[in-house]
Amino acid sequence: MGAIRWPGYEGEAHVGRYQAGIETEARIIDATRSLLAEGGLEAATLKAICDRAEVRAGSFYNLFGSKEEAILQVVREAIDAVDPDPTHAGTDTVDDLVAAYIRFFEEEPQLARIYVLAGVAGEPSDNGSRRRFLRHHETRVERFADAMVRDTGLTEQDAEVQAELLLGALDGLAVRWALDTEFAFAAYAKLARERFGTE
């Protein structure tokens, strides 16, 4: 196992990091993700995370400042994953965006579940995560609205209303899916798409 000594590895400064530590960190993040997806915040105790990652608490704290840090990292992962490839920025159609959302649910069910939880679980006392999610939502509304303006020539104002409605419907169907993963989310999402932002 070779120590990685150059900065910039995966966008992070890893000066003086051993491969072993890097792999442990990944195991901890995987464990956190799966526990959050399975049982929400309650399930993601430090003990559960460490048991699943097969490390002791001391190792955890060598790599993360707090349990909260690991959780926020996974939540950010989920929020980042819901956005389509940024290289398509400015050229998406609404159908592309809806398709990407559907693909997210189909290909990343754990992250999708965490995403749904993050939409509601941010609490008033925790203004950081609540505000971050709200900003994320607003950015998504803008992106959908821009695509609608391009697709249909709707005014920006009308497009924003339609985008809010479409995203509301998609997110509500996502909550429905989280309640019962047998629910045919993709089919319903497509039907919802037909109702907003198509004039």
Partner DNA sequence: ACCTAATTTGAGTATACACTCAAATTAGAG
Partner DNA sequence: CTCTAATTTGAGTGTATACTCAAATTAGGT
Q: Binding residues for a second copy, how many (CB under 8 A)?
A: 40
Q: Which of 30, 77, 83, 171 binds a second copy (CB under 8 A)?
A: 171
Q: Which of 4, 137, 149, 151 binds a second copy (CB under 8 A)?
A: 137
Is 77:36 a contact under the CB 8 Å cutoff?
A: no
At 78, give phi and psi (nearest 5°).
-65, -45
Q: Which of 121, 129, 151, 186 binds a second copy (CB under 8 A)?
A: 121
From the list 21, 18, 43, 22, the residue with the least C-alpha distance to 32 is 43
Stretch that binds a second copy, among 46-54, 58-66, 79-87, 171-179 (CB under 8 A): 171-179
Does the protein bind a second copy through residue 26 (CB under 8 A)?
A: no
Does the protein bind DNA through residue 110 (CB under 7 A)?
A: no
Query: Among residue numbers 48 through 107, which ones bind DNA (CB under 7 A)?
Result: 55-63, 66-68
Does the protein bind a second copy through residue 67 (CB under 8 A)?
A: no
Contacts with a second copy, residue ranges (CB under 8 A):
38-43, 116-117, 119-125, 130, 133-134, 137, 161, 164-165, 167-176, 178-180, 188, 191-192, 195-196
